[in-house]
Structures are given as C-alpha cells and as structure tokens.
Amino acid sequence: MTAVQGTTVDIPTEDGTADAYLSHPGDGSPHPAVLLYMDAFGVRPRLNAMADRLAEAGYTVLVPNVFYRHGRAPVFELPEFIDDASRPALFEQIVPVMQALTPERAMQDADAYLRWLADSPVVADGPVAITGYCMGAGLALRTAGTYPERVAAAAGFHGGRLATDGPDSPHLLAEHITAELYFGHADEDPSLPAEQIKRLEDALTTAGVRHHCEVYPGAHHGYTQSDTSAYHREGDERHWAALLDLLDRTF
C-alpha cells in the first residue's frame, strides 16, 4: 500500500479563496489527477478518507470546498454520525447554500480547480478525471461538458437532478462531452426518478458519449457515505470497483 500525504491547500478563485483537501502518493512523483466533488455535507473526514484511498491507488486527489463563499470547511456543524433525525435541521442550513452555488459560479470555480491541478508539481501532465457524490455528481457531469478538453473521465454516484426539464440541467451539456462517463444511481432515489435516468441515458447515447449507467439495488441516496445512515456497504464496494476500473482504463 502506497504511503500518502494529505494536506489542506488554498485555491485562488475569481470570488476569493477555496480551501481544499489534497491527497497524493508520498513518493515525490507527479500522478494523474482526480477532482473529487463533495456531497452537500461538505469536506470532512469521510471525504478526506476517500481521497486518501484514491491516493493509495496512485492518484493525486483534490477535494475542494465548493461552499467556500460561506466559510472554510466545515461550513456546517456536523454530528459525527448523520442520522435521519439530524437531517432536517442540517438541510435547513444546507439548502440555501446549495442554491447560492449557481451553475455559472460552479463552473467558474471548476476552471480554478482545474488550473490549480494543471500547475501543481504533484500532478502529471494531461487531462484529469472527476468523481462526484450527490450534488457533486451533477458538478462532475457539468464540468465534463464545460471543459471537455481537460476532463478524460467522470463518474457520479447517487447523483440528484442530473436530467431535469430545466434550461440549465447538466445533461444538456452532453453534446460537448468527450470524456468517458460512469454513473452509479441510487435505488428509488427521489432526487433522480426514473424519467430523469432515462433522459440522461438518452442524451448521452444521442450525443455519442462513451458511458455506462447503473442503478444499485437497495442502495439509497448517499450510499457511499459511511458517516451517515444512508450508507450501504455493498453499494459502496461496488462504487469503488467501478471508479477504480474507470480510472485504470483512463490512465
């Protein structure tokens, strides 16, 4: 197992400074980059541990606090374990912050994250891969469509609102995507109903995007997050296998 180095870094953006967690193999060599987009609960020990696992596999991983306009991580005071009882009060705080991150702001930030990675001595030359969770899956899809020349692969897990009927839905960028995509959808996810799954699949197929989309039976929204009551071990393990396989094919 590769020893990893993890640290907090600051990324200059057009609207300020985004704090981020950076993890990479401790061998002093540059490695392919993975941009890991957080879920709504934000950058915290669970996501840092996920980044470390990817770094152990040979990647340089950046986990930006996409809510940096509202403060450094942790933006919200989270319990050690996020159970069903604690969710309503948390989401009262989280939803307005999520809504403030417009697609335009998010993609302006994505440019800053990608530029930072391109300039980092611990990142190998070439395009990056992206993985995103919950809201981060939509950010991954949107980034792949906005910066196709810089994204070689993108994955999303238990993503919501990936293919709405709104004018700024991320699936509408499908025609611009050149990356290979993978999506592991949560089972019976109210934020991604069957009609959105079909709309996403149809858009990717029509655009000729290399992709694979699967629904994980029994795995509900948030299934990769072991610090929450939504965690589903089988779904999480399946996610790791699919993600590492995608990265292995890409790099």
Examine the residue annotation and report whether 213 is marked as an active-site residue of this protein: no
- What tokens were used for 97? 């912050």
From the list 31, 185, 211, 221, the catalytic residue is 221
From the list 24, 39, 134, 211, the catalytic residue is 134
Task: Show Cβ contacts of residue 251 under 8 Å, excluding neighbours closer than 6 positions.
Answer: 32, 59, 129, 152
Positions of E strands within the chain = 4-13, 16-25, 33-37, 60-64, 128-133, 151-157, 180-186, 211-216
| DSSP 8-state code for residue 91 | H
Task: Show Cβ contacts of residue 183 under 8 Å, excluding neighbours closer than 6 positions.
Answer: 137, 155, 156, 157, 159, 162, 200, 211, 212, 213, 214
What is the Cα–Cα distance from 238 to 243, expressed in whole angstroms?
A: 9
Examine the residue annotation and report whether 189 is marked as an active-site residue of this protein: yes
* 212 CB-contact burial (10 Å; exposed 0-12 / middle 13-18 / buried 19+): middle
From the list 39, 189, 227, 236, the catalytic residue is 189
Catalytic residues: 134, 189, 221
